[in-house]
Chain A
Amino acid sequence: MSKRHILALYNDFDEAELAVQELRTAQIKGFNVDDDLTVKSPIEHPEVERMIGYKPIRVQWFTLIGALTGGILAFSLIAGSQANFYSQMKGGKPIVPIPPDMVLTYEMFILGGVYITVLGFLICAGLPARRSPLYSAKVSEDQIGILVRSDESAAPALKDIFTRHKALEIQEEAGK
């Protein structure tokens, strides 16, 4: 079945919140509120999480893996290189000295953590991305956008909800 996209723009965050609440409780056939609802905003509204329900964030797993990999890789490479230094005179000092090696391990721990966190961010946030079917530059200015995807049959009910909650503008399918 073909899908339809509708974008409603709101000037007021509270009004957008009420519209989302109704979308969540309305039980419209052909519209799954968990998968088909996207809220767009010009700033990070902590309230959005409450509005659309808690969704897990997995970036920290990337951070953990990146930091550990960075640290382990650094120590292995340094210690591995030093272990090949038998030909050098060490004057009785350890071939793999732990305290000074920890400095570079620490730096690489951070480097790996930062790099892989960014990779995780791009993956988890779905970036780089193509423009969604409907987009309004007003969202980056001062308006809240509610983008829904639904079956053809659900579109009138969704539009009705948006209209009732005083949407400033409703766009369908082809965005500006």
Chain B
Amino acid sequence: MGKDIREDIAWAQINKDVLASVQSPRKLYWVILFIALAVFGVGIGCEVMNYRIGLGVSNMDNPHVWGLYIATFIFWIGMSHSGTLLSAILHLMHADWRKPIYRFAEAMTTFSLMTAGLFVAVHLGRLWQIYYALPYPNERWTWPNFQSPLLWDAMAIFTYLSSSVIFLYIGSIPDLAICRDNIQAGWRKKLYSILSLGWEGTDRQWRNFRITYMTVACFLIPLAVSVHSIVASDFAMSQQPGWHVTSFPPYFVAGALYSGCAAIITLFVILRYVFKFEEYMTLPILRKTVRLTFAIAMVWTYLNCIEFASAWYGHSQADKAVLIQKATGPYAPFWWSMIFCGSVVPFAMMVKKWQVNIPIMFAVSLLLNLGMWLERWMIVSPTFAHGYYPWSWDHDQWPSLVQWGIVFGSFGWFTLLFMVFCKIIPSVSMYEVKEMVYHRTLAKKKEELGLEGGH
């Protein structure tokens, strides 16, 4: 297995390495950026078609009124989960290994939430009439329904997005000051000077920083859980077969954590290579992330079984029929692929040798994410296809290329935002890596002196 971050690495070297990688990444960075831009362009083209020709081109009709848009919305919301949540939980647990990877995980949260938000707008269709949905006093008597999970959802996502941005920003201030002090004059220097707020690392600043960061982390954990529970309520509080399940909130939270962790592995591999972070994003950190992902995969598998058991033994013929439809109907190949990717593929993570094999883990993480996207699609569409009444069934409606194009485009949009962010803000936290090195050096010293407390 590869080595962990060296204890004897000079702190000045950490600044130098990270800043150099931000300024001159490998050429692959530009290739990824170009591809992302092209893919995003496809999405924009499809959306323009939607507006010019009409929503009919997306092939969304009764009963398939949510289609891929809402499934992908849930996927992106889920993806956002692990970044901030894991960062906050591991921060409170003083897990040092999070330090080199938490910044990009938090950025992932922010940008996936922004991508998810797009789907609400896309799903609404005629965006220029969005003000109809806004709850403000008006003459049309469209009162906001405060009892609706959809309204809770909007509020929860807004709270999560703004709190995640704050958490990401507050945690970056000391690093922005490092950038300000080390980058040559230019637009970057001006940007860093503004964003670092005049940070100088005084004892007063650090003291208040520590408490603030910890407090926001404490808020974020229940917030993150509530966000996905509320997304689950969009389904579970309805009477639709296949959705009205008590275990949906924990099932959604587990699924969100799962897809988020898988995405962290994917981005870990990409950033490690593109920004030459081999020294900091080490293989032991990858191993820990992989183990965590495997544990969450098993929780998700267990909750899946519970969901199936509730439908099977719940004496609701409609629920049972939807489950049978999923396993044997036109959605069967996708449903079984979901089971394979989500519950079988993770067993590759049990092989110790593979846990630090970058190509294998990269492929596994992509398959896991495919499984998690399929999971969201398999929650949304089969229920619409096979509702309570046979005359409302429609098993053959297939999303049009416009829908697929917009889903595809969202990956380009996310990648574009994420890669631009990583080029501007250091995706490895320099001051926290220094703290990690400092704590390890102290522990080593204590061990050498035979004192207790070394770890």
Q: How far is the CB of B211 from chain A (nearest CB, A)?
A: 5
A: number of interface residues (CB 8 Å): 56
Q: How far is the CB of B455 from chain A (nearest CB, A)?
A: 15
Partner of A107, one of B144, B199, B226: B226
B15, A41: Cβ atoms under 8 Å? no
Q: Cβ of B230 < 8 Å from any Cβ of A?
A: yes
Query: Please, how many angstroms separate the alpha-carbon atoms of A111 and B222 in the complex?
Result: 12
Partner of A42, one of B143, B156, B209, B434: B434
Q: Which residues of chain B have C-beta atoms less than 8 A from A39's C-beta?
A: 202-203
A118, B212: Cβ atoms under 8 Å? yes
Closest Cβ neighbor of B436 among chain A residues: A43
A48, B197: Cβ atoms under 8 Å? no
Q: Cβ of B140 < 8 Å from any Cβ of A?
A: no
Q: Which residues of chain B have C-beta atoms less than 8 A from A88's C-beta?
A: 143
Q: How far is the CB of B453 from chain A (nearest CB, A)?
A: 13
B170, A118: Cβ atoms under 8 Å? yes
A43, B438: Cβ atoms under 8 Å? yes
Q: Cβ of A76 < 8 Å from any Cβ of B?
A: no
Mark out the residues of chain B between 139 and 164 whose CB falls within 8 Å of any chain A CB in the assembled complex: 143-144, 146-147, 151-152, 155-156, 158-159, 162-163
B438, A127: Cβ atoms under 8 Å? no
* Majority DSSP secondary structure for residues of B touching A: helix
Known A-B contacts A104-B155, A118-B216; the reply to A110 vs B222 at CB < 8 A is: yes
Known A-B contacts A110-B163, A114-B162; the reply to A142 vs B12 at CB < 8 A is: yes
Q: Cβ of B206 < 8 Å from any Cβ of A?
A: yes
Known A-B contacts A48-B203, A110-B163; the reply to A142 vs B212 at CB < 8 A is: no
Query: Please, how many angstroms separate the alpha-carbon atoms of A140 and B200 in the complex?
Result: 7
Known A-B contacts A40-B201, A42-B431, A118-B216; the reply to A100 vs B211 at CB < 8 A is: no
Query: Please, how many angstroms separate the alpha-carbon atoms of A63 and B318 in the complex?
Result: 48
Q: Which residues of chain A have C-beta atoms less than 8 A from B435's C-beta?
A: 43-44
A110, B11: Cβ atoms under 8 Å? no
B205, A125: Cβ atoms under 8 Å? yes
Looking at chain B, what size class is its interface with the partner chain?
35 or more
Q: Which residues of chain B have C-beta atoms less than 8 A from A124's C-beta?
A: 204, 208
* Most A CB within 10 A of own CB, among B10, B11, B146, B432: B146
Query: Please, how many angstroms separate the alpha-carbon atoms of A140 and B16 in the complex?
Result: 12
Q: How far is the CB of B236 from chain A (nearest CB, A)?
A: 13
Q: Cβ of A49 < 8 Å from any Cβ of B?
A: yes
Query: Please, how many angstroms separate the alpha-carbon atoms of A128 and B198 in the complex?
Result: 6
Q: Which residues of chain B have C-beta atoms less than 8 A from A147's C-beta?
A: 202
Q: Cβ of A160 < 8 Å from any Cβ of B?
A: no
Mark out the residues of chain B between 197 and 253 whose CB falls within 8 Å of any chain A CB in the assembled complex: 197-212, 215-216, 219, 222-223, 226, 230
Q: Cβ of B380 < 8 Å from any Cβ of A?
A: no
Q: How far is the CB of B24 from chain A (nearest CB, A)?
A: 20
- Partner-contacting stretch, out of A22-30, A52-60, A148-156, A166-174: A52-60
A85, B143: Cβ atoms under 8 Å? yes
B159, A129: Cβ atoms under 8 Å? no
Q: Cβ of A164 < 8 Å from any Cβ of B?
A: no
Partner of B211, one of A60, A81, A130: A60
Q: Cβ of B285 < 8 Å from any Cβ of A?
A: no
B146, A82: Cβ atoms under 8 Å? yes
A78, B146: Cβ atoms under 8 Å? yes
Query: Please, how many angstroms separate the alpha-carbon atoms of A42 and B156 in the complex?
Result: 36
Query: Please, how many angstroms separate the alpha-carbon atoms of A172 and B201 in the complex?
Result: 19
Q: Cβ of A97 < 8 Å from any Cβ of B?
A: yes
Mark out the residues of chain B between 1 and 41 whose CB falls within 8 Å of any chain A CB in the assembled complex: 10-12, 15
* Most A CB within 10 A of own CB, among B147, B170, B181, B215: B215
Q: How far is the CB of B133 from chain A (nearest CB, A)?
A: 16
Query: Please, how many angstroms separate the alpha-carbon atoms of A89 and B209 in the complex?
Result: 50
Q: Cβ of B400 < 8 Å from any Cβ of A?
A: no
Query: Please, how many angstroms separate the alpha-carbon atoms of A110 and B160 in the complex?
Result: 9
Q: Cβ of B416 < 8 Å from any Cβ of A?
A: no
Q: How far is the CB of B18 from chain A (nearest CB, A)?
A: 12
Closest 8 A/B residue pairs (Cβ): A142-B11, A137-B181, A129-B198, A121-B212, A125-B208, A128-B197, A100-B147, A127-B197
Sampled A-B contacts (10; CB under 8 Å): A88-B143, A97-B147, A113-B215, A114-B166, A115-B166, A117-B219, A118-B170, A125-B204, A125-B207, A135-B200
Q: What 19 additional pairs, Cβ within 8 angstroms, besides A108-B159, A122-B197? A: A38-B204, A39-B202, A43-B431, A57-B211, A59-B212, A60-B215, A81-B144, A103-B152, A107-B155, A107-B159, A110-B159, A114-B216, A115-B166, A117-B219, A121-B211, A128-B197, A139-B201, A142-B10, A147-B202
**A interface list, Cβ under 8 A from B:** 38-45, 48-49, 52, 55, 57, 59-60, 63, 78, 81-82, 85, 88, 97, 100-101, 103-104, 106-108, 110-111, 113-115, 117-118, 120-122, 124-132, 135, 137, 139-142, 145, 147
**B interface list, Cβ under 8 A from A:** 10-12, 15, 143-144, 146-147, 151-152, 155-156, 158-159, 162-163, 166, 170, 174, 177-178, 181-182, 197-212, 215-216, 219, 222-223, 226, 230, 431-432, 434-435, 438
